[in-house]
Amino acid sequence: MEDDALAEDLRQAVGELVRAVRAADTMPSGGAAILGHLDRGGPQTTADLAHRRGVTHQSAAKSVKELLGEGLVRTEPHPSDGRKLLLHITDAGRARLQRERAQRAGWLGTAIRDALSPDEQRRLRDCVPLLTRLTARITEK
């Protein structure tokens, strides 16, 4: 049961950290998430993005419509299914995503430097590979 307590403490701490960092975002989280998926995973359909994000198709479609209107994504016909459209991140979308990521990293970096001693910063750095492995294990399917 000690492992369960650790898991709950970690879940809560990481969740609060993610919510705090997202507060610095200048664009809606749905749009930022879609841009991130397109940047990392390449062209995808709205249905693919909805599935990856764990949201309804309607929710993803609303975010996609906003991104299209801002010129942050573009569409092209799906190569094997003419009923579908593939979404691509545009250069403007990639630049906006990079600004969002830089803002988050800068904000979090400042918080790390202000709140943690150099020794604590080294200990935190050592935890990053562990968190990455945990994430990979959780997302294995």
* Pairwise pLDDT comparison (38 vs 81), residue with the higher score: 38
- Domain assignment of residue 34, given as a range: 2-139
**Count of the separate structural domains present in the chain:** 1
Kindly tell me if the per-residue pLDDT of 103 is higher than 80: yes
Checking if the pLDDT of 141 tops 70, the result is: no
Question: What three-state secondary structure class fits 63?
Answer: helix
Q: Quickly state the pLDDT bin for 1 (edges 50, 70, 90).
A: low
Q: 3-state class of 117 per DSSP?
A: coil
How far apart are the C-alpha atoms of 64 and 59, rounded to whole Å? 9
Q: What is the CATH number of the domain that holds 46?
A: 1.10.10.10
- pTM of the prediction? 0.79
